[in-house]
Amino acid sequence: MSRRMEGLKPYLFVEINKMIAEKKARGEEVISFAIGDPDTPTPENIINRLCQSARDPANHRYPETVGLPELRQAIAGWYQRRFGVSLDADREVLPLIGAKEGIAHIALCFIDPGDIALVPDPAYPVYSISATLAGGEPYYMPLTEGRNYLPDLDAIPEEVLRKAKLIWLNYPNNPTGAVAYLDFFSRVVQFARQHNIAVCHDAPYTENAFDGYQPISFLQADGAREVGVEFHSLSKSYNMTGWRIGMAVGNAEMIGALGSVKSNLDSGIPQAIQYAAIEALSGPQDCIADLNAVYQRRRDLIIEVLNDIGLKAKPAKAGLYIWAKVPKDYTSMEFASDLLDKVGVVVIPGVGYGSNGEGYVRLSLTIPDAGLVKGLSRLAAWQDSKNRFKQKK
Ligand X SMILES: *Cc1c(COP(=O)(O)O)cnc(C)c1O
Position 67 contacts ligand X (CB under 6 A): no
Q: In this structure, are residues 274 and 247 in contact, taking their beta carbons and an 8 Å threshold? A: no
Residue 92 binds to ligand X (criterion: CB under 6 A): no
Cα–Cα distances (Å) from 320 to 131, 206, 295, in that order, read: 26, 10, 7
Closest CA to 259 of 109, 98, 62: 109
Distance, CA of 93 to CA of 232 (rounded, Å): 11
**DSSP state letter for 315:** P
358 and 350 Cβ atoms separated by less than 8 Å: yes
182 contacts 214 by C-beta, under 8 angstroms: no
Residue choice 246, 349, 350, 352 for contact with ligand X (CB under 6 A): 246
Residues in 305-344 that interact with ligand X by CB under 6 A: none
When binding is defined by CB under 6 A, the residue of 16, 30, 71, 99 that contacts ligand X is 99
**Per CB under 6 A, 177 contacts ligand X:** no
Hey, which residues between 25 and 44 contact ligand X (CB under 6 A)? 36
Q: With b meaning 16 or more CB within 10 Å and e meaning fewer, what string describes 118-128?
A: bbbbbbbbbbb
Residue 158 one-letter amino acid = E
247 in contact with ligand X (CB under 6 A): no
Q: Annotate each residue in 187-226 with x if it binds ligand X (CB under 6 A) or - if it does not, as one string.
A: ---------------x-x----------------------
Nearer to ligand X, 65 or 170 (CB): 170
- Site membership for ligand X, residue 354 (CB under 6 A): no
For residues 49 and 100, which CB has a smaller minimum distance to ligand X in the complex?
A: 100
> Quick one: which of 110, 63, 73 has its CA closest to 271?
63
Q: Per CB under 6 A, does 350 bind ligand X? A: no
Q: How many residues bind ligand X (CB under 6 A)?
A: 14
Decide if residue 174 touches ligand X (CB under 6 A).
Answer: yes
Least Å from the CB of residue 293 to ligand X: 21
329-360 burial, b at 16+ Cβ within 10 Å, e below that, comes to: ebebeebbebbbeebbbbbbbbbbbbebbebb
Cβ contacts of 334 within 8 Å, gap of 6 or more = none
Nearest distance, CB of residue 385 and ligand X, angstroms: 32
Q: Does 241 bind ligand X (CB under 6 A)?
A: yes
Q: Applying CB under 6 A, which part among 92-100, 151-159, 188-196, 304-312 lies near ligand X?
A: 92-100
Contact range with ligand X by CB under 6 A, out of 40-48, 95-103, 345-353, 370-378 = 95-103
Among 100, 165, 225, 362, binds ligand X (CB under 6 A): 100
Q: Is residue 127 within 8 Å of 139, Cβ to Cβ?
A: no
Three-state DSSP state, 360: strand
Note whether 98 binds ligand X by CB under 6 A. Answer: yes
C-alpha 233: how far from its chain's center? 9
- Which residues of the chain form contacts with ligand X (CB under 6 A)? 36, 98-100, 124, 170, 174, 202, 204, 233, 235-236, 241, 246
